[in-house]
Copies of this chain bind each other. A is one copy, B any other.
Amino acid sequence: MRPRLFTPGPTQIPEQVINAMSRPMQHHRSPEFKALFREVTAQLKAFFQTEHDVLILTSSGTGGMDACVVNLLRRGAKILTVEGGKFGQRWGEIGRAYGLNVISLKVEWGEAIDPNEVEAAVQENPDVAAVFLTHSETSTGVAFDVRAIAEKVRQHSDALVVVDGITSVGVLPFYKDEWHIDVCVSGSQKGVMIPPGLAFVALNDRAWQRAEQSDLPRYYLDFLHARKALKNDNTPWTPAITLMLGLHASLSMILDKGLEYFWDKYERLAYATREGARAIGLELFAKQPSSALTAIKVPQGIDGKQLVELLRTRYGVTVAGGQEHLKGKIFRVAHMGYYDHLDMVAFASAMEMALHDLGWQFEPGRAVATVQSAYMNGKI
């Protein structure tokens, strides 16, 4: 049995990334590394669809989110967070940890927010300094319409729009500059298909002005330190060098094929997987699904924890279960990463077998066949 990883981060890693990371260690102040850093910085601009520099932090995605809060606001500032899952909630948690005045717009998990609700909240709170959004909410599989929300915010407010693009950049169509997203943070183990350990933060001029005015205390995650080092093709502190080598290899491959290729591919994989699940009577959890992952409801009478465990131990397929109150109620399968449609066929097959083992009644082979035909017919 070959282990297959289908979790929405970390994802499976392309061979060329593994090879690049196995190269002999190099020093981060060497001319070779600076040349690589310069190329990676240019690649990240294309990846985020921005003309502005993208900072690289050695941290998880959460470190990048923390950095966005602590670098962009003044003490006691009012912020608005849209919370429709574990990662939306994290914006609120971080804001409160820094003593900010957090207004949380709660959305039921599995639902997307109506941009008009954000508009109303911004109008009611004209003193909001920043609005924190999640593009692809990994805990629920929902895609939020950050483009429309950013437009509504911009009509009524000077608030910065800060987007958690951790499972969206490189996965869903995302145009940072064109959509007037002031700040976007992403992580390495998602759309960019390398191991975890790096966060990326893209900021426009408005955001840089805020960073210069911020008086929240910080050091390691300070954007101004990072910007100064970036002008010298470097990071202020020793970066995760092997991950940088992997990043360069992965972005080279991604940009060579073109972002659209991946956006389309993930959409087709997600569509085929959703159709396959539906074909055997399973329900989907997300109302407005992200193609980064699919969240599937555990059917009545089945123990969700047991299902995830069985998939892993008997079929070698690791998916993610539900988080917080969704534990045992949903399971989540990734499409972003080093996957193709045969991986989704394999997932559907393992899912069918595990559900069969647990006594769920359905026509065996329906999901597998449907994933294949849905992919073939395409949706796009």
Q: Which residues of A contact B (CB under 8 A)?
A: 3, 5, 7, 9-13, 18, 21-22, 24-30, 58-63, 65-67, 69-70, 93-94, 97-99, 187, 189, 195-197, 216-222, 236-243, 312, 318, 320
Residues of B within 8 A of A320 (CB): 27, 29
Question: Which of A11, A94, A99, A219 has the most C-beta atoms of chain B within 10 angstroms of its own C-beta?
Answer: A219
Residues of B within 8 A of A24 (CB): 3, 5, 12-13
Given contacts A196-B241, A197-B243, A217-B217, 8 further A-B contacts (CB under 8 A): A12-B24, A27-B320, A58-B196, A59-B63, A59-B220, A62-B236, A66-B219, A216-B217
Selected contact of A195 from candidates B18, B94, B218, B241, CB within 8 Å: B241
A5 x B21 contact (CB < 8 A): no
Report A165 CB to chain B, min CB distance, Å: 16
Residues of B within 8 A of A62 (CB): 219-220, 236-238
Chain B residue at minimum C-beta to C-beta distance from A26: B5
Main secondary structure of the interface of A (DSSP, over half): loop
A30 x B318 contact (CB < 8 A): yes
Residues of B within 8 A of A237 (CB): 60-63
Residues of B within 8 A of A220 (CB): 59-60, 62-63, 65-67, 221
> How long is the Cα–Cα vector from A274 to B337 in the complex, in angstroms?
50
A239 x B60 contact (CB < 8 A): yes
Residues of B within 8 A of A61 (CB): 237-238
A7 and B21 contact, Cβ closer than 8 Å, known pairs A189-B238, A219-B94, A242-B242: no
Chain B residue at minimum C-beta to C-beta distance from A57: B59
A18 x B26 contact (CB < 8 A): no
Chain B residue at minimum C-beta to C-beta distance from A27: B7
> How long is the Cα–Cα vector from A219 to B96 in the complex, in angstroms?
10
B97 x A219 contact (CB < 8 A): yes
Residues of B within 8 A of A218 (CB): 97
Question: Which of A7, A28, A196, A312 has the most C-beta atoms of chain B within 10 angstroms of its own C-beta?
Answer: A196
